[in-house]
Chains A and B, each alone.
Chain A
Amino acid sequence: MKEGTGFRIYAIIYLVFLYAPIFLLPLFAFNDSTIIAFPLSGFTTNWFSELMTIPALHGAVQTSLIIAVSTSILATCLGTFAARAATRYDFPGKAPIMGFIMLPLVLPEIIVAVSLLVVLLGIGIQLSAWTVILGHVLICTPFAIAILNSAFQSLDRSLEEAARDLGENRWATFWLVTFPLIMPGIISSLLISFTISLDEFIIAFFLTGTDPTLPVYIWSQLRFPTKLPSIMALGTILVALSITLLMIAEYFRRKGIQRTGGKETGGFL
């Protein structure tokens, strides 16, 4: 037996377990039967067209899009500030501060969600799309920082100094030099935050008001077995969308590193 064969088999089984359910999603989305079971009974796109006829779903999609867009913009802005501070300046308490900002990355989401709910209710804030945005910004900002950190690190510091030296003030230097050069990082941060926010369930479930987000809506529909195939269709669309966005994000991140002549520092894909 060749060396490592055991591990290779293990790795294949692992990947099958991880991804097989996702491949089942489109399979049943196109299956002409309300029952989610083999054998498949025929090809149909009915479930997709059925999606078009549910007003509640459209409302959920709209809510989710508003939340995801707002979240990605806010998280990317905050991430830009934090990443710039972390890579350009030394200040007292830098390590613990950065640690606290990155903490939601490893904290169980349910804990974040419950604590946010307790605090928001405690200070008497009405639950709405805005409270979901708040929670999503909290969990997306660490991702934005991670991406923008690598963008700032691969940016030669003397480029900013050169712009200053040639007569530009800090503000103009940022817009003329820094911003165009970290643009790929900003785009990939926007896309990743958008994807995370769009898919996120736990925080949205706890903090949403009367308008559910898309994942919350999907969860609520799981109680009705006849709706299941159209949920499969919806899931298929979401998976395709997520993968596309992540690929675009990674493409821009790599392009950015190439352009500024930096070294590959690892990414999400």
Chain B
Amino acid sequence: MKPIIELRDVHKYYGEYHALRGISTDIRAGEFFSLLGPSGCGKTTLLRTIAGFEDVSQGTIHIDGNLMEGVPANRRPTNMVFQSYAIFPHLTVSENVGFGLRRDPRSKAEKARAVDEALEMVGLAGFGARAAHALSGGQRQRVALARALILKPKVLLLDEPLSALDKKLREQMQHELRHLQRHVGITFILVTHDQEEALIMSDRIAVMFEGGIAQLAPPQELYRRPVDRQVAEFIGVMNFLPATVSAPQGGEIACDVAGLGRVMIDAEQCPGGARPGEGSVGFRPETLTMLYEGEAAGEGGRGRVAEGMVAEVNYLGDMTYYAIRLDGIERPLTISMRNVVGRKVFEEGERARVAWDPGALVLFC
């Protein structure tokens, strides 16, 4: 299937500042695509070049097969939900939602019905007559969504739409947005700096640093197989240990990991590509397991055990985060354990055995 958006070598300069450094990627029709990165990475700039608010300095953007060069924002098949929502304060909710229908040839009654349907879709049925400036943050967001979706765009652009909401409402809106996207089938492009939000909502995520895409992958792959340490550290938490890497042999790579000894790693566990020499291995906190008395490591014989001491305990209710100083390793490792009924929480200073699985390692060279 033809991609809905094709970006080819897109560059953007602001004077001397190189905001986008050669972005080439395809966005598929009907997918929920996220641009994830720290502030200043160029994700919003990229979104605005797609919307038509910024020109590209070099490269091309095709939307639905059409070259967008010189096409102003009002003639692109995209609509945007702004970070500030940009609800027109001098209009009512209905007038806001129906704003884009001004040039629509349909009759007044039909337009009014379309506005009502759009409001109902975002759960604001009956709010039409309200003044826009009297709405709460969550309601403004819904109005902004309805206003953009009523035009049935090919692509809906969302610029950090949830960042102004409080935590509870944000989590609720994440699910609603996901459902809405499935329901309308429109391609959504979301800009966010919140990795959790991107993981929950997206079909695919592009992680951006310094004007370039560092990795583009579905959420699971991104989390389990980050291509480099920067991506690994940005998405969730990862422990790193220095390792000496040997040349790959028969799809396997031998590594000497500090404190853990020699480990055979699958080439697939090195998504960034293996190079012999000094590197590091990483593992997520939940891939390490604290062993209780009498417990053995893992099933299938893959589990290995290291010993150490509990340096710190952070109890979060459903989870406990431990910092464990393994024998022979200076930096403590973070381990997360689900709190299960009948199992004690370890205390600081206790000796502990930690099971780890070589299959959960990621190798960075």
From the candidates A165, A180, A259, name the one contacting B73 in the complex (CB within 8 A): A165
Cβ of A24 within 8 Å of any chain B Cβ, yes or no, is: no
CB distance from A170 to the nearest CB of B (A): 8
Do residues B82 and A161 form an inter-chain contact, with CB atoms below 8 A? yes
Q: Give complex CA distance A162, B73 in Å.
A: 9
A163 interface residue per 8 A CB criterion: yes
* Residue pair A161, B73 in contact (C-beta under 8 Å): yes
Q: A65 on the interface (CB 8 Å rule)?
A: no
In the complex, how many angstroms separate the beta carbon of B17 from the nearest chain A beta carbon? Answer: 13
Interface residue B13 (Cβ < 8 Å from any Cβ of A): no
Whole-angstrom distance between the Cβ of B147 and the nearest chain A Cβ: 7
Most buried by B among A166, A181, A260: A166
Number of residues of chain B lying within 8 A (CB) of chain A: 25
Assess whether B34 is interfacial by the CB under 8 Å rule. Answer: no
Taking a contact as CB atoms under 8 Å apart, the answer to whether B53 and A161 are in contact is yes
The answer, among B74, B75, B89, for a CB contact under 8 Å with A261, is B89
B350 to chain A, nearest CB (A): 54
Given the interface pairs A161-B73, A168-B102, the reply to whether A181 lies near B90 with Cβ below 8 Å is yes
> Which among A158, A168, A177, A259 is the interface contact of B74 at CB below 8 angstroms?
A168
Is B239's CB within 8 Å of the partner chain A? no
Q: Tell me if B133 is interfacial: C-beta within 8 Å of chain A.
A: yes
Chain B residues, Cβ within 8 Å of A177: 88
- Which residues of A (58-110) have their CB < 8 Å from a CB of B? none
A169 to chain B: which residues have CB within 8 Å?
Answer: 72, 74
- Which of A158, A172, A180 is in CB contact (< 8 Å) with B86? A158
CB distance from B141 to the nearest CB of A (A): 13
Is the CB–CB distance between B79 and A165 below 8 Å?
yes
Contact with A259, one of B75, B90, B100, B103 (Cβ below 8 angstroms)? B90
Closest Cβ neighbor of B82 among chain A residues = A158
> A259 to B80, alpha carbons, bound, how many Å?
23
Interface size on A (CB < 8 Å)? 20
Chain A residues within an 8 Å CB radius of B86? 156, 158-159, 161-162
Chain B positions within 8 Å of A176 at CB level: 99
| A156 with B102: CB separation less than 8 A | no
B285 to chain A, nearest CB (A): 39
- Cβ of A167 within 8 Å of any chain B Cβ, yes or no, is yes
Task: Give the residue name and chain of the A residue nearest to B98 (CB).
Answer: A166
Indicate if the CB atoms of A163 and B99 lie closer than 8 Å: yes
Query: In the bound complex, what is the Cα–Cα distance between A192 and B79 (angstroms)?
Result: 40
Q: Which of A162, A164, A261 contacts B133 (CB 8 A)?
A: A261
| Cα(A172)–Cα(B102), bound, Å | 11
Residues in B with CB closer than 8 Å to A181 are 89-90
A159, A165, A168, A260: the one contacting B80 at CB < 8 Å is: A165
B51 at the interface (CB under 8 A from A): yes
Q: Are A167 and B74 in contact (CB under 8 A)?
A: yes
**Min distance, Cβ B18 to any Cβ of chain A, angstroms:** 18
CB-CB under 8 A from B79, the residues of chain A are 165-166
B88: chain A residues at CB < 8 Å are: 159, 162-163, 177
Which of B51, B72, B78, B84 is in CB contact (< 8 Å) with A156?
B84
Nearest CB in chain B to that of A155: its residue: B89
- The residue on B at minimum CB distance from A166 is B100
Is residue B244 contacting chain A, with contact meaning CB distance below 8 A? no
Most buried by A among B100, B148, B151: B100
Q: Which residues of B contact A163 (CB under 8 A)?
A: 88, 99
Taken residue by residue from 63 to 80, chain B's Cβ proximity to chain A (1 for < 8 Å, 0 otherwise) reads as 000000000111100111
> Is B83 located at the chain interface by the 8 A CB criterion?
yes
Distance (Å) between the CB of A178 and the closest chain B CB? Answer: 11
B99–A259 touching, CB < 8 Å: no
Q: List A contacts of B90 (CB < 8 A).
A: 180-181, 259
Which 8 pairs between the two chains have the least Cβ-Cβ distance? Answer: A166-B100, A162-B86, A158-B86, A158-B82, A164-B73, A180-B90, A165-B80, A167-B74
Known: A165-B79, A168-B102. 17 other contacts (CB 8 A): A158-B82, A158-B83, A158-B86, A162-B86, A162-B88, A163-B88, A165-B51, A165-B73, A165-B78, A166-B74, A166-B100, A166-B147, A167-B102, A167-B151, A260-B89, A261-B89, A261-B133
Q: Which residues of B contact A (CB under 8 A)?
A: 51-53, 72-75, 78-80, 82-84, 86, 88-90, 99-100, 102-103, 133, 147-148, 151
